[in-house]
Structures are given as structure tokens and as C-alpha cells.
Structure 1
Amino acid sequence: MDRKLNENIDEKIIDCLNKKSDGISAPENMFFKIRAGILEEEDRGVLFNMKIKFLKAKTMIVAGLLCIATTVTCVAATNGLNWISSSSRANEINKFPTEDVVKKTVGYCPKYVDEFSNGFKFESFNFSDSSLENDNGNSVLKTKDANFSYKKEGARKDQSLFFEATPINEEYFNKDSEDKKDITEYNGIKIYYNNFKYKAVPVDYVESEEESKLIQEGTLQIGFGADKISESNTQFVKWYEDGIEYSIMNMAYDDVDKDQMIEMAKTVINK
């Protein structure tokens, strides 16, 4: 096939994708469809890095997956504002970073730890660029987030623990937290806890009325595209300290309960 023909095909593909993209609407459970696909790709040796900005779990959507095997771009929507975040595996650091390295990377130095008392140990450090945009596409706020991942010995591929620090105005943090009821106070800091169940199902699965109700309540998310039905729990805690929003997200480590999540938050606060 000659070069000119290749270029013509490329142009047609790009034009088709651009036209199709105009009508795309991302459903709430797209993140979980993407997650199921990522896990399948990882089994085949393809590397991905996932960056999720949690606002309200029941309004979280994913805008798109950049299929270059290294970058994932995600969006979370709430209160008429959209978080657009992206990160690249190419920037990942697998050696526990010094404070100088973190500050040079993101421009500030948040609190962070190399391990937690319940067995989680540092695995990697990365950053993500995030932009809070209004409905007109204008950026209200831009941040560079510090992302840390941790693992327990013997962890499965579907198990992940993420810790993130984001410099943000307290006003935005409070808007995001206004409907959170599960609060623990520690040293004058409010730690917010939330959890929901993730259910991976085949593409032809039909959700029940009860499941639909749980999805609306934000306590269940269903991801389509799995070979078989499986369930796991997702938990996260977040808090605000000295101009920085901190969050810890636990995916599928079912042996970790709420008390442990709170204790991990306290470990960082005590740093």
C-alpha cells in the first residue's frame, strides 16, 4: 500500500472519528466499562495509567479514553462544573520520591508517606494535570495533582490503592463534600468517608429494579463487558488541610474496612 493511499485512509478515519465524537454522551458507568477493558488489556501486557477525579460518586462520568496505551483522560461532573484530568505512564516514578522531587514535579510539597501500618507500601509516584471548567468550556481552576499508588504483598491485578493531593480552594472542596454524611473529626480536620459496590457484568446483563435504585442512590456502579459476574467494593476518604485536598481510594481490597481507611488518613495527617 503506497504512502498517498495511507494518508487518504488516515484522513478519512480522522474525519469519521471527529464526526462521531460530536454525538458522544458518556454514561455514568463508562468508567467501569473502561476499567474492565483495562484489566483485560493488562492481562495481555498492555500498560495503562488511570486518573480519576472523584467529586460525587453518583455524578461521576468518564469523558474518554485516549487509546495510546499510556494515558487515560477522565472527567467528573458536578454543580455545573467539569473536572478534566489526564496523566501519563511515561512520567511515573517507581522510587519513593524525596520532597525535593515532589516539589519540582508538582510545584508544592503535600504530606505523603512511604507505607501504611496495614501493609500498604509505596509502588509509584506520578502527577496529573487537571482543569475545572464551566459549561462554556472556560477554565475556572487548573491544578497539578500529586498521585501515589500503593500495594499490598500478593495483591491481585484488580486491587488498587491510590492517594492523591490537589491544591484547591476550600470553597470547591466544601461544595463537593456538602452531601457527605459520614464524617470523622481528627485534630480539627474533617475526614469524609464514602463507599459503593462495583459489579462487573457481561454486556447482555439486565439490571434489576433494585439495582437501578441503588445506582441512583450512588451505592452501586455496574460495569458491562466482563466475561462473568463479579463484585467488589470501592471506598474512599478525603479531607482538606492547609490549602490541599487529600484523598485515598481503595479499589477491591475487601479486607480493608472503614476504620482502616480512616487510620490511613490519620497517618498522612500526622506526617
Structure 2
Amino acid sequence: MDNYNWNNAFPDTPKSFKNKVSTTLNSLPDQKENGEMENRKIYKKGSFKKKIMIGLVAAMVLGTTVFAAGKIFSITSHGSNIPTYTTMPTTEQVKKDLGFNPKLVKEFDNGYIFANGYTTNNEGLDVNGNSVAKTKSLDFTYKKGNDKLSLSMENGRLGENSEKATVIDTYNGIDLYYHSYANKLVPGDYKLTEQDKKDESSGKYVFSYGSDKEKISQVQYLNWMQHGINYSFLAIDSDISQDELAKMAKQVMAAK
């Protein structure tokens, strides 16, 4: 299994929300080889494959900052840890499996090639636990050498654009939103030092808990909406640049 840490993918949410996430993650069971499980917002280290959660991470990076009845407070997901697709699916297959037709790219001009894909059912809950929205997403992993990144395609969007997401380009009238940050992973019992508190306050690091040891990861996120479908690239500790991600997005937008 690819060993990624996604203990915090939503820097715009309040601390009470982050604490709730951490508590939920710590209570999750370990992964079973052929089981299905529900995972709230992000996955516990070593317990769930990265690919299935891309849609959730995407949704919560975009997530609403207003939490009240009728507004999305948390997101849950159902899906298998076994790839739905090990070869590039046809548009007919995707339409049959998910009920919508996203634009599909097998290989990008910069060398990233389709590796596998997962289908996910997402549900947005309000502060009282009531269901307020449901979506399905298709999550593709692309590889180029040892580098990986993910593309999520969701029929609609849970939440609104984060205030920290910046429009970096416009293509055929469609805005491309980009956000990046340094994520500092620390053990669950880690106590923030005074310097940590300053780094968090200044925005130097977003702190997340649950890792076996301290680690700093660079997170990049780019998304856009086209014909009612929310597309989002997610790259962790990748060599890819912001401009390259934008070019990949344009290739998706121009696909037939």
C-alpha cells in the first residue's frame, strides 16, 4: 500500500472541527483486505488506500467555512479499497457505474499516465448529522516515474471554494483555483511549542496529528467546475509545478 499521511487536508476549518476529525480518525479500525469501510473526511495512516479518499480531500479543501443547520459540517464516504478500474474505463462504463460523464484522459502531454481508478459515494452532513447533499466521484491515480498525483471527478461539489484558493488562470471562461500549503505531521500526543504556535498563526505550517513521527509535506491542490462536474488535482510532495497542473487541467477541459 502507498503510505501517505492525510491527517489534515482542510486548513480553513476551525480547530473544533479539526479536533473532531482527529478523534474520528483515531477510532477507525485497521484496513481489511477485501472489506469496505466508511471513513470520515480523511484516512488514518496505514488504514485506507489514498485513492479512494481523493474526492473527500478535494471536497474539504473546498469546504464551507460556515457550519450551521443545512450547511456541510462533515463528509463521509463509502467505497472499496480494491480498484474499480485497473485499465482506463470507457465513457460508457463510467456513465453506467456513476451516472455522469466526466472528461477522461489516459495520458497527459507531460508524461503522467493512468494507473488505476476508484469510485466513491460521498455524503455531506450538517452539524446535527443530517444528510444535506450526496455525490459520486471517480478518482484516478496517475504516475510519472516515481511521482504520483490524483484527479478526482465529482458530479457536483460538496462545499464552496475556500477563501485561500486563488484563481490562477481562466480557460474558455472557466476559472482554475489553486491552493498550496506546508502540512506538518506530528504524533497524536505532540504539544505545540511556542515556535509551532507562531508558525501555525503565520500560516507557515498547517499542523495535523496522528503520524508516527514529525514530517513536513507539501500539498498542492487545483480545481475547476465544468458542465456541473467538479475536477480536482491533488499532489503531495510532488515535483510538479503549478503551471504544469494548470496545463494538465486545460488538457482535461479540452478532451472530447
**Residue from 165, 171, 174 that aligns with 2:153:** 165
Counterpart CA distance in 2 for 1:217 and 1:167 is: 35
CA drift at 1:129: 0.6
Does residue 252 (structure 1) correspond to residue 237 (structure 2)? The answer is yes
TM-score normalised by structure 1 residue count: 0.68
Counterpart CA distance in 1 for 2:202 and 2:155 is: 29
Any unmatched runs of 5+ in structure 1? 1-36, 41-49
**Paired residue secondary structure (1:90):** coil
Q: How many residues align?
A: 217
CA RMSD of aligned residues (A): 3.2
Contact kept? 1:51, 1:128, Cα under 8 Å: no
Q: Which residue of 1 aligns with 2:11?
A: 57
Q: Which residue of 1 aligns with 2:228?
A: 243
Q: Which residue of 2 aligns with 1:97?
A: 89
1:229/1:136 CA distance change after superposition, 3 Å? closer
CA drift at 1:166: 1.2
**Residue from 113, 135, 139 that aligns with 1:121:** 113
Counterpart CA distance in 1 for 2:115 and 2:88 is: 8
1:163/1:133 CA distance change after superposition, 3 Å? same
Counterpart CA distance in 2 for 1:94 and 1:51 is: 24
Contact kept? 1:132, 1:141, Cα under 8 Å: yes
CA drift at 1:190: 0.5
**Paired residue secondary structure (1:39):** coil
CA drift at 1:209: 3.5
**Paired residue secondary structure (2:218):** strand
Does residue 269 (structure 1) correspond to residue 246 (structure 2)? The answer is no
Amino-acid identity (%) = 30
Any unmatched runs of 5+ in structure 2? 42-59
- Kindly provide the amino acid, as one letter, of the partner of residue 39 in structure 1: N
**Paired residue secondary structure (2:166):** coil
Contact kept? 1:87, 1:128, Cα under 8 Å: yes
1:39/1:217 CA distance change after superposition, 3 Å? same
**Paired residue secondary structure (1:262):** helix
**Paired residue secondary structure (2:82):** helix
Q: Which residue of 2 aligns with 1:68?
A: 31
**Paired residue secondary structure (2:3):** helix
Q: Which residue of 2 aligns with 1:137?
A: 129
Counterpart CA distance in 1 for 2:119 and 2:7 is: 12
- Kindly provide the amino acid, as one letter, of the partner of residue 166 in structure 1: E
